[in-house]
Structure 1
Amino acid sequence: MEPSTASTGPAAQGTGRTAAGQGVSAYNSVAQLQTDLWWSIADTARRLATPGLGAAERAEAAAVLDRTLADVEVLAFYFSHPGRQVAETLRGQASESYLELSRTAERIGRGLIGDVPISTAAVTGREDGSADATHPAQDRRPRFDVLVVADLSEAEETRILRELRAVRRREDAFVYDIVAVPSFVDAAVAVLVNPWIQAVVVRPDFRNRSAVDLTLLHRLVPPAGHPDLDYFTAAERARVLARQVREVRPEVDLHLVEQASIEQLAAQVGREFDAVFLQQEDVLDLHLTILRGVGRRYRTPFYSALLDYARKPAGVFHAMPVSRGNSVVRSPWIHDMCDFYGLNIFLAETSATAGGLDSLLEPQGAIREAQDLAARAFGARRTYFVTNGTSTANKIVTQALVAPGDVVLVDRNCHKSHHYAQVMAGSNVAYLDSYSIDAYSMYGAIPLADIKRTLLTYRREGRLDRVALISLTNCTFDGVVYDVERVMIECLAIKPDLVFLWDEAWFAFARFHPVYRRRTAMAAAARLTERFGTAEYRREYERHRERIRGMTDDELMRERLLPDPDEVRIRAYATQSTHKTLTSLRQGSMIHVHDDDFARRSEEAFHEAYMTHTSTSPNYQVLASLDVGRRQVELEGFELVLRQVELAMSLRDRIAEHPLLAKYFRVLSSSDLIPDEYRPWGTECPVRAGPVAMDEAWGVDEFVLDPCRVTIEISATGIDGDTFKRVQLMDRWGIQVNKTTRNTVLAMTNIGTTRTAVAHLLRALIGIAEELESATGRMTPEQKRAFDLRADELAHDHPPLPDFSRFHAAFRADPTGAAADGDMRRAYYMAYREELCEFVSADEARRRVNAGLPVVSAIFVTPYPPGFPILVPGQEFSKDILDFMDALDTKEIHGYDPVRGYRVFVPSALAGGTGGTSRQPDGNGRPATGRT
């Protein structure tokens, strides 16, 4: 953040340190810092109010209090609650009554923790007609801040605030108050630190620089910069600020106010602003527009239609006895189900699409509108609701874009739904291997160099036209996130119409955080669409084309490639499990589409695939929850995700700082899960580096680590991951976690995580560590050696994770080529014929492999962990695969019979194979092309 050299304004002498002497680097968010400041004021003022405090101690405490109040003044500059009037009142209390100051600060701190900030009027005693004159407990209307950006005199600011307050009405659906700032930098800071801002009103006379000393925030807020706007026109200045706000908070409404020539200004600012007003005459219109903008995001078309339906009396003469609760409420045997769920869930059950409820398969009303609103919220061109999970969403997209015989590049350790989707589509699968993390039995992500190498191989062999789609997982279960924009740019440079399916099942929340957003599929697709259409990019590409002319494939591998703007097509799809990371009932998912060729090439096939996999009786409660979940993240997603990250960082810090916890547990960092070669930024990030460092790394590194995935290494406990999860966390402490490996457990924060939950997990870990400390202290030397040996085995004795071997020649489209894709569908259905299969033991499989004989799996073999297929139909066994399977101590292996062994093809089934392609020639004798 740009520190101002000005000597005026709030906290001009700010220290950049908390009242307790902690550097700002000790904090992971502004909210965390703000809460600590208020508690520090309360505690320090209480000490100063204590009789008998020594002179030296009193002087030191007074100095701490003065610094802390200065820091509070910096934050109060950007908030309405507690705002500048509160900061001024506290300064007065500091000179009058330390005890009263302590009580006030404590009340404010408690209000912030409970998300019900104490009203300004309650602190200052000024009944000025502001929105907070009524205590929040007495007014349940949603409340928000409006940011006014203008270089106002004190008199002008007072007048504008008075005029806006004067037009408010009790019947308004929402309550807001004003935060006024004078400069570009202040506006950029405000939208980052104040999540309550829902609208920004701009007058183009704002200044460039801030008069506030922003040292306090330099580790917590990424730098906004301050472009030289002095020579810009009013429209240019407004557009620059609008782009800055949109980059950080695309969901907020932007309104422009000017004193004259607003007709010309409206034409010049284009779509950057939602509305333009004449300052002297449009105060009421501005007020109503602010409310209407928030109301637009607040609307939930389908949820509201479902509420209306549930409230109407109805005679049920269709197929659902449970509708209106008729088969439940009057039953003496199952009425407890109504007691448990409540009557509303049954009142909202119906198989009819009348009454505004709409049809999911052919939406024309409320569902269509709800999906359009979701597309806006997630930055997509189109969005489709899915009521039976992202597994189905992946199958829909794959079936819509892939025809039998098309080549699909697939992340080998992706979710099983992708593997089965390829079987159903009849594609030729080319598996891509992620880098392995053997020490923790995990896979990371697929290096871009390997993806480029595969595409260049297909181009060299004359089969690039057959490559239809690439499917990648962003982010992985363990939190490894791709540089989506770079992957798309360089792949499109090799194949300009390549379609991308980004599985973002665990990443739906990322849209609502400015650092995360840049690595989402929809945000990257939108940026590339804008960039490729500029004259500047065209000139950049022309220079690039000349530079790479004549380069070999090996040289292109090391080059940052750029696509031809005349040929490139942006075709990106993202599947998201809304229910995993945002508010939705189980199986609520979305498909987001940004496809330049959707209407021309894919829409009809997409609708057919959607029909194929979507129930004609979708769960309306799931649909309603998707609608409400979208409303929530548009209005408070920024705040909720900030808190989610803050809690994750806090959990990481507490484990690292606590001596006993650090002895038995270690939270894995980016250097543990991402090799150095993929982290050019180099610094440990995001652990203990702060939000600014996180922002820098996420702009540079090929792979980054989502800090909300807290992977705890537990080798020192001597307990394996599965046992630790079941026996220690779940059975003893009632704590649920998502995933384990042999020596790790994965704890995730989400938008519903509370501080109490984090404290409970920490208390559980401390309890486990204390018991281990006590138990090891009582061990005999022999027992201690056995314990240490077990811990050492968990830490170091790991079976290496195997790469994908290859498809057998009988299932490869080109058995002699380097591009070794295989027809997994053919192998999958061959396994239906019992005479073509047999069972072999692990020893027999190893004997055959050592003898050079092919052993080919007939089915999927999936151990948990790691939770993805080690073997797929048509894949050859290798020594590495057998070594890995023999070393596993996991109890759950799908596709392996511990009595009979592996199900494989008999040798005669593989003899005379002609390759895996199942494509039929078209009328011209050419292989049929896919839908893409």
Structure 2
Amino acid sequence: MISNGADHPALPEAPASGAHSADGAPPRRTPPRRTPSWTRALERDPGMPASTWRLRSDAWEYLRFAVKRLALGSDDVDALASDSEIHRSLRALETIEMYWAGFGQRYVRTIGELLEDGDYRTAFDLIGRVVHRLRGDTVPDEPRDEHLEEPERPETTSDPDPRPRFEVLIIDETTAADRDTIRSEGLRLRSPADAFTYEFVVVPSADDAVAAVLTNPHILACVVRPGFSEHTHQPLSRDLRETIALARSQVSEGPASSHSQLASVQRVLRLADTLAALRPELDLYLMAGAHLEDLAGALTHRFRRVFWREDQLELHLSLLRRASHLYDTPFFTALQDHARRPVGVFHALPVARGGSVVSSQWIKDLAEFYGLNLLLAETSATSGGLDSLLAPTGTIKKAQDLAARAFGARQTFFVTNGTSTANKIVHQALTAPADVVLVDRNCHKSHHHAVVLTGAKPAYLEAYPLNDFAFYGAVPLDRIKQLLLDYRAAGRLDEVRMVTLTNCTFDGIVYDPERVMAECLAIKPDLVFLWDEAWFAFAAFHPVTRRRTAMNAAKNLEERLKSPAHAAAHRAQQERLHDADGAPAPDEVWLAQQLIPSPEARIRVYATQSTHKTLTALRQGSMIHVHDQDWEREAEESFHEAYMTHTSTSPNYQILSSLDIGRRQVELEGYALVQRQLDLASSLAQTIARHPLLRRTFRVLTANDLIPAELRGVGRPMPLRHGLAPLWEAWAHDEFVVDPSRITIEISRTGVDGDTFKHEHLMDRYGIQVNKTSGNTVLFMTNIGTSRSAIAYLIEVLVKLAERFDAALSRRHPDDRAAQDEPLPPLPDFSAFSPGCATDAALPDGDMRTAFFAGQQRRNTEHVFPEELRARVAAGERPVSAGFVTPYPPGFPVLVPGQVITSDVLEFMAVLSTREVHGYDPQRGYRIFTTPPSDV
């Protein structure tokens, strides 16, 4: 572990040249002046974009430690050899600092020159200033330093400014003097009255602009000046160069949708489109000197504003105003104002304003624990600056509109009872009795309950099983297409209303929603899609993961359907899929092709997200995002009815305000938080995979384990380990990918099951919380609140546990080891609805609602213990479940009302290690029908 030098004694004052030190020792010999080698080539990879923040921090911390040792005489000048860690760190930092505001490349070069000259004390002081700034400490003022040029003085003085700070990227080929002028002008325009402050990052080329927005998450605005060049001269890593090429290639090189065909305009448009695709939250501005009016007419739809080159004040004001729009939290601010107002409560809620609490001698500890603000903010009021969640017209409506902007939706709705309620709202709004809904059998139980409530008929889709690990993956696209084709062949395709899938699954399997929706719409162009993204809300704020969110896929698909090229491709494919008489080709022809939807297909997409699971929000805070072309005509009224059906008339205002402020956070720093989350997850996986003891005890499951070979692409098993470019490629092309923020480890060699590992070892012994386990796996999920310290603690605990299990294994009898290695039973597929519930004998949908309500009547059911039930099944009986049986987590039903109980189901349940099983009474057994549901 590298020390940061904080445990060393304070440095003595550096002696004057040629003088003796205070203790009489002669001064150290100054090495001869050399040309800094780090200015010639970047020998070491400066890090993939997702980990540059860590490389930058670690490099500065290491320099502080190493140069302090030089200054103290603990190391000799050999530490400055051309292949030393000090030189490698300086080479990497000189590239990295170009893309961050503050200290810059000249500052790094100055430190290198000081080290070359043997002035270790001054170099140490300059390095210390950077480390203090990165840590968020106050940097002490110092007298002017002759080693630094005047324009960089602001970065070396104290910065106690408490205002939020962001960075602005300027893209232009400039001289050093020009860059200094830009920074000086920015300083001149600052005012103490400004709510925010910002600093400039100036880069010369389009490549450098892409590198900057990928590596520096603090950038919130980009100013494009047409003088930029195309390619960088920086010695970037191979991964970063490949990522830049991928990012720039996603924008067409053909004529842009602009009235101007000037080459200069096209290159500006391509850069703007590239930056917007990478970071949609960025504000883009154009500053030009010639033909300003023509450019404004051609480019305004790409840029927030177009400025005359000399109009710095308007740019300054625009930057601050846009930051204020992102910072705005209308409902949270209104609730704060309400809490500060003196009011009289002649309404509900005795707890409001603390009325029933602060004067009580028995429960005043409630206020002491939660704080008085919680009580001051409790109210039933929907006026006075607040709003009604059921009929919002003020601050809640504005907060929801801001959330829609942040997540790329057309409409967004807040939900205060979790995504379980959000799912029921969408199902009720969009489906009706007799509609067929294609549902992933392994989706969350709320979807199954929603089907009962609506009376729609579920046709269950089977995900591929991962029998070695006792959990399911996702539903292959070919299975969805085949089922749609089966309904078409049976003349029942018009009954199919909606497709419901989980993206991403509990275990981190992620679909390609754009491809799934496109190919399904090619078979039935009016399908509605519900994507359960309970665990995927964070994905909207990273350029790689965003492409697989439902809202981004809907937007891209809608744009694609409008293009003439798409229409031509659709016509050509239809000729291959139909014969001369218009009859469809055999199913195998449809399954063998990537289907192209009609340009007339309707894009109707809904996503439900548990904001509280992966972003900042109080528990049960969720959102529904909508991208529905037929919203006003087909869905708005029914959606609001369903929303009012399931939403409390007394919603929790603290949950609502947390959704509002959580949206503010992700718009302002979501990219920084998500890329840090992914990087920390990658470091955890790599440590487990490389540590000699950990890899002998635990195995990190990769895409090769979690995705069958026939469904995998050609990418690496753990793309993020190898850089951002391989991850980008996999997420762009593979049918399924694995969420890199989730680490599933296989624990068979520990000799304990997942549930025991979770409760007795992780939680009870070390206080580490995990959510999901299977018989032989444990899932570790990172989030935007995960810290490096938390990762280090987990690794420390895993090492201790590995030592314990290793010792126990050596003492275990060989027969016990063999029993531990016995394979798990195969995961059961959905058997079938009983004949009385099935719609027909050919297709899988059934009437689960009738079975559910029949199962609530005690006279129709009995309880049977597992042993007797197994005997009945073995004797040829076909018992039918009278209710849901749902192991939790992960929360999907193994049995649903009306389902035939098979030996596979019972065998699976017999070895299940999950302690919490909803719908199964261990004192009474399974609840089954005594009479077939059709006869009830």
TM-score by length of 1: 0.91
The alpha-carbon deviation at position 182 of structure 1 amounts to: 1.2
Q: What's 1:187 paired with?
A: 209
Corresponding residue to 1:512 among 517, 534, 541: 541
Q: What's 1:250 paired with?
A: 280
- Which SS does the other structure have where 1:178 is aligned? strand
State whether residues 356 and 366 of structure 1, in contact with CA within 8 Å, keep that contact through their aligned partners in structure 2. Answer: yes
Q: What's 1:807 paired with?
A: 833
Name the CA shift for 1:409/1:750 in 2 (closer, same or farther; >3 Å): same
The alpha-carbon deviation at position 131 of structure 1 amounts to: 6.6
Q: Is residue 87 of structure 1 aligned with residue 112 of structure 2? A: no
Name the CA shift for 1:309/1:907 in 2 (closer, same or farther; >3 Å): closer
- Which SS does the other structure have where 2:306 is aligned? strand
Q: Which has the higher contact order (CA 8 A, sep 6+)?
A: 1
Aligned partner of 1:788: which letter?
R
The alpha-carbon deviation at position 202 of structure 1 amounts to: 0.7
Q: What's 2:337 paired with?
A: 308
The alpha-carbon deviation at position 507 of structure 1 amounts to: 0.4
Name the CA shift for 1:229/1:850 in 2 (closer, same or farther; >3 Å): closer
The alpha-carbon deviation at position 743 of structure 1 amounts to: 1.3
Q: Is residue 685 of structure 1 aligned with residue 718 of structure 2? A: yes
Q: What's 2:511 paired with?
A: 482
Aligned partner of 2:674: which letter?
V
The whole-number CA distance in structure 2 between the counterparts of 1:755 and 1:314 is: 45
Aligned partner of 2:605: which letter?
A
Aligned partner of 1:166: which letter?
R
Q: Percent identity?
A: 51
Corresponding residue to 2:229 among 188, 197, 207: 207
The alpha-carbon deviation at position 555 of structure 1 amounts to: 1.6
Aligned partner of 2:592: which letter?
R
Q: Is residue 569 of structure 1 aligned with residue 602 of structure 2? A: yes
Q: What's 2:199 paired with?
A: 177
The whole-number CA distance in structure 1 between the counterparts of 2:142 and 2:565 is: 50
Name the CA shift for 1:34/1:58 in 2 (closer, same or farther; >3 Å): closer
Aligned partner of 2:158: which letter?
H
Which runs of 5 or more structure 2 residues have no equivalent in the other structure? 1-34, 256-260, 580-584
Q: Is residue 727 of structure 1 aligned with residue 760 of structure 2? A: yes
Aligned partner of 2:834: which letter?
H
Write the mapping of 1:545-584 to structure 2, written as runs, cut at 5 A.
Answer: 545-550=574-579, 551-565=585-599, 567-584=600-617
The whole-number CA distance in structure 1 between the counterparts of 2:825 and 2:137 is: 48
The whole-number CA distance in structure 2 between the counterparts of 1:687 and 1:524 is: 22
Q: Is residue 596 of structure 1 aligned with residue 629 of structure 2? A: yes
Corresponding residue to 1:832 among 840, 856, 865: 856
Q: What's 1:694 paired with?
A: 727
State whether residues 140 and 157 of structure 2, in contact with CA within 8 Å, keep that contact through their aligned partners in structure 1. Answer: no
Corresponding residue to 2:220 among 198, 216, 219: 198
The alpha-carbon deviation at position 639 of structure 1 amounts to: 0.2
Q: Is residue 613 of structure 1 aligned with residue 646 of structure 2? A: yes
Q: What's 2:295 paired with?
A: 265
Query: How big is each residue's C-alpha offset from its partner over 1:54-109, in whole Å with a ceiling of 9 and x where there is no partner?
Result: 78x45636655334322211111111134223223212322232344345435534
Query: How big is each residue's C-alpha offset from its partner over 1:735-771, in whole Å with a ceiling of 9 and x where there is no partner?
Result: 1111111111111110011111111111111121223
State whether residues 151 and 181 of structure 1, in contact with CA within 8 Å, keep that contact through their aligned partners in structure 2. Answer: yes
Aligned-residue RMSD, C-alpha: 2.6
State whether residues 120 and 132 of structure 1, in contact with CA within 8 Å, keep that contact through their aligned partners in structure 2. Answer: no
State whether residues 236 and 269 of structure 1, in contact with CA within 8 Å, keep that contact through their aligned partners in structure 2. Answer: no
Name the CA shift for 1:121/1:768 in 2 (closer, same or farther; >3 Å): farther
Q: What's 1:917 paired with?
A: none
The whole-number CA distance in structure 2 between the counterparts of 1:52 and 1:472 is: 61
Query: How big is each residue's C-alpha offset from its partner over 1:867-906, in whole Å with a ceiling of 9 and x where there is no partner?
Result: 4211100111123222222333444332223343322222
Q: What's 1:883 paired with?
A: 907
Name the CA shift for 1:404/1:132 in 2 (closer, same or farther; >3 Å): farther
Corresponding residue to 2:383 among 343, 354, 357: 354
Name the CA shift for 1:99/1:221 in 2 (closer, same or farther; >3 Å): farther
Name the CA shift for 1:548/1:749 in 2 (closer, same or farther; >3 Å): same
Stretch moving more, 597-606 or 326-335: 326-335
Stretch moving more, 321-330 or 376-385: 321-330
The whole-number CA distance in structure 2 between the counterparts of 1:372 and 1:411 is: 31
Name the CA shift for 1:54/1:614 in 2 (closer, same or farther; >3 Å): closer
Q: Is residue 765 of structure 1 aligned with residue 792 of structure 2? A: no
Stretch moving more, 160-169 or 243-252: 160-169
Name the CA shift for 1:763/1:219 in 2 (closer, same or farther; >3 Å): farther
Which runs of 5 or more structure 1 residues have no equivalent in the other structure? 1-7, 914-932
Corresponding residue to 2:158 among 129, 135, 139: 135
Q: What's 1:649 paired with?
A: 682
- Which SS does the other structure have where 1:514 is aligned? coil
Q: What's 1:659 paired with?
A: 692
The alpha-carbon deviation at position 596 of structure 1 amounts to: 0.4
The alpha-carbon deviation at position 28 of structure 1 amounts to: 5.8
Q: What's 1:919 paired with?
A: none
Q: What's 1:539 paired with?
A: 568
- Which SS does the other structure have where 2:597 is aligned? coil
Q: What's 1:703 paired with?
A: 736
Q: Is residue 323 of structure 1 aligned with residue 352 of structure 2? A: yes
Name the CA shift for 1:210/1:890 in 2 (closer, same or farther; >3 Å): closer
Q: Is residue 846 of structure 1 aligned with residue 879 of structure 2? A: no
Q: Is residue 274 of structure 1 aligned with residue 312 of structure 2? A: no
Number of residue pairs aligned between Structure 1 and Structure 2: 887
State whether residues 445 and 886 of structure 2, in contact with CA within 8 Å, keep that contact through their aligned partners in structure 1. Answer: no
State whether residues 183 and 200 of structure 2, in contact with CA within 8 Å, keep that contact through their aligned partners in structure 1. Answer: yes
Query: How big is each residue's C-alpha offset from its partner over 1:544-576, in whole Å with a ceiling of 9 and x where there is no partner?
Result: 2223233211221111001110x2000000000
Aligned partner of 2:106: which letter?
Q
Aligned partner of 1:620: which letter?
Y
Query: How big is each residue's C-alpha offset from its partner over 1:899-927, in whole Å with a ceiling of 9 and x where there is no partner?
Result: 4332222245445x9xxxxxxxxxxxxxx
Corresponding residue to 1:872 among 879, 883, 896: 896
State whether residues 851 and 933 of structure 2, in contact with CA within 8 Å, keep that contact through their aligned partners in structure 1. Answer: no
State whether residues 386 and 395 of structure 2, in contact with CA within 8 Å, keep that contact through their aligned partners in structure 1. Answer: yes
The whole-number CA distance in structure 2 between the counterparts of 1:622 and 1:115 is: 33
Corresponding residue to 1:459 among 488, 493, 518: 488
State whether residues 528 and 605 of structure 2, in contact with CA within 8 Å, keep that contact through their aligned partners in structure 1. Answer: yes
The alpha-carbon deviation at position 165 of structure 1 amounts to: 2.3
- Which SS does the other structure have where 1:688 is aligned? helix
- Which SS does the other structure have where 2:651 is aligned? coil
Aligned partner of 1:700: which letter?
H
Q: What's 2:7 paired with?
A: none
Q: What's 2:524 paired with?
A: 495
Q: Is residue 816 of structure 1 aligned with residue 849 of structure 2? A: no
Q: What's 2:17 paired with?
A: none
Q: Is residue 392 of structure 1 aligned with residue 421 of structure 2? A: yes
Aligned partner of 1:808: which letter?
S
The alpha-carbon deviation at position 710 of structure 1 amounts to: 1.1
Corresponding residue to 1:676 among 697, 700, 709: 709
Corresponding residue to 2:44 among 17, 20, 35: 17
Q: What's 1:75 paired with?
A: 96
The alpha-carbon deviation at position 792 of structure 1 amounts to: 2.4
The alpha-carbon deviation at position 812 of structure 1 amounts to: 1.8
The alpha-carbon deviation at position 229 of structure 1 amounts to: 11
Name the CA shift for 1:494/1:119 in 2 (closer, same or farther; >3 Å): farther
State whether residues 79 and 86 of structure 2, in contact with CA within 8 Å, keep that contact through their aligned partners in structure 1. Answer: no
TM-score by length of 2: 0.90
Stretch moving more, 447-456 or 896-905: 896-905
Query: How big is each residue's C-alpha offset from its partner over 1:222-268, in whole Å with a ceiling of 9 and x where there is no partner?
Result: 53448989994333222111100111110011111111322221110
Name the CA shift for 1:512/1:908 in 2 (closer, same or farther; >3 Å): closer
The whole-number CA distance in structure 1 between the counterparts of 2:470 and 2:694 is: 23
Q: What's 1:929 paired with?
A: none
Name the CA shift for 1:9/1:153 in 2 (closer, same or farther; >3 Å): farther
The whole-number CA distance in structure 2 between the counterparts of 1:169 and 1:654 is: 48
- Which SS does the other structure have where 2:40 is aligned? coil
Aligned partner of 1:329: which letter?
V
The whole-number CA distance in structure 1 between the counterparts of 2:67 and 2:469 is: 49
State whether residues 239 and 723 of structure 2, in contact with CA within 8 Å, keep that contact through their aligned partners in structure 1. Answer: no
- Which SS does the other structure have where 1:539 is aligned? helix
Name the CA shift for 1:870/1:356 in 2 (closer, same or farther; >3 Å): same
Stretch moving more, 798-807 or 264-273: 264-273
